[in-house]
Amino acid sequence: MNSVWVFNLGADIYAWFTAQAAWRASCARLAAELHERGAETVLDLGCGPGVSSFALAEAAPDRRVIGVDPSPRMLRAARRRRPAPNGIGAGLDWLLADAAFLPIATESVDACTGHSFLYLVADRSAVLAEVRRVLRPGGRLVLLEPNAAAVTPTQVLELSRDPRHLLSVSLWRPFSRIHGRFTPSSLVSTLAAAGFADCRAETTFSGLAVLATASHQASAPHRL
């Protein structure tokens, strides 16, 4: 199922209910995985209205962060929140693109991230292959995806009682069930099958999400 039109139509609503402390905290948790890893250029895939991109930029002010999304209205919402510099350069900027066809040079970025991203992708193999293409050898992939495990009201409420948080979870859970959630083991398997190394995953966000990290290793040269 292609969900781009859904997010394009509901961009303003999505921007409203993700502008809350619990969602920002989950984005900060994702950004923390790149702390002290020397990630100077980061592609934030499926950035939506920019909450995760802002967290990445705030975690390392000298970092180059490019928020990527296929929805024009999502990127307009991101720009309204914080104007980006002209062109793709140092700082924070936005790129309208399909993650399966990134207009980015091969081996040119240090890290790729995605918050609630991979579960929405129709062709995960194609997208992960594209991520490996643009990552430098040793580059990192960090994903935060919806957890397939059952979630109780207590887990949701212990994060926040903000109505926007409650609404976001009430939409995120059934929508992710339709598209396909992950367990830690299934996300690790997905990344390993795509050729990533050092794949690890754990539950986070009070059990609502799975946080995974992986690295891109250069292929060994063929011996004659």
pLDDT in tens, 13-56: 878 788 899 999 999 999 999 976 656 899 999 999 999 999 99
**Domain-embedded: residue 146:** yes
pLDDT of residue 221: 43
Q: How far apart are CA 87 and CA 128, in angstroms?
A: 26
Percent of the chain having pLDDT more than 90?
Answer: 69
Q: How far apart are CA 48 and CA 54, in angstroms?
A: 11
Name 169's Cβ contacts closer than 8 Å, sequence gap at least 6: 151, 156, 208
Q: How far apart are CA 188 and CA 124, in angstroms?
A: 13
Cβ–Cβ < 8 Å for 33, 62 = no
**Domain-embedded: residue 160:** yes
Q: Is the pLDDT of residue 224 over 80?
A: no
**Domain-embedded: residue 224:** no
pLDDT of residue 18: 87
**Domain-embedded: residue 109:** yes
**Domain-embedded: residue 91:** yes
**Domain-embedded: residue 221:** no
Cβ–Cβ < 8 Å for 167, 101 = no
Q: Is the pLDDT of residue 89 over 70?
A: no
Q: How far apart are CA 77 and CA 75, in angstroms?
A: 5
Please tell me the total count of domains within the chain: 1
**Domain-embedded: residue 118:** yes
Average pLDDT over residues 185-208: 97
pLDDT in tens, 91-112: 899 999 999 999 999 999 999 9
pLDDT in tens, 137-166: 999 999 999 999 999 999 999 999 999 999
Q: How far apart are CA 112 and CA 104, in angstroms?
A: 12
Distances (CA, A) of 139 to 108, 111, 132, 218, 221: 10, 5, 9, 10, 18
Range of the domain at 149: 4-215
CATH number at 163 reads 3.40.50.150
pLDDT of residue 86: 46
Q: Would you call 198 helix, strand, or coil by DSSP?
A: strand
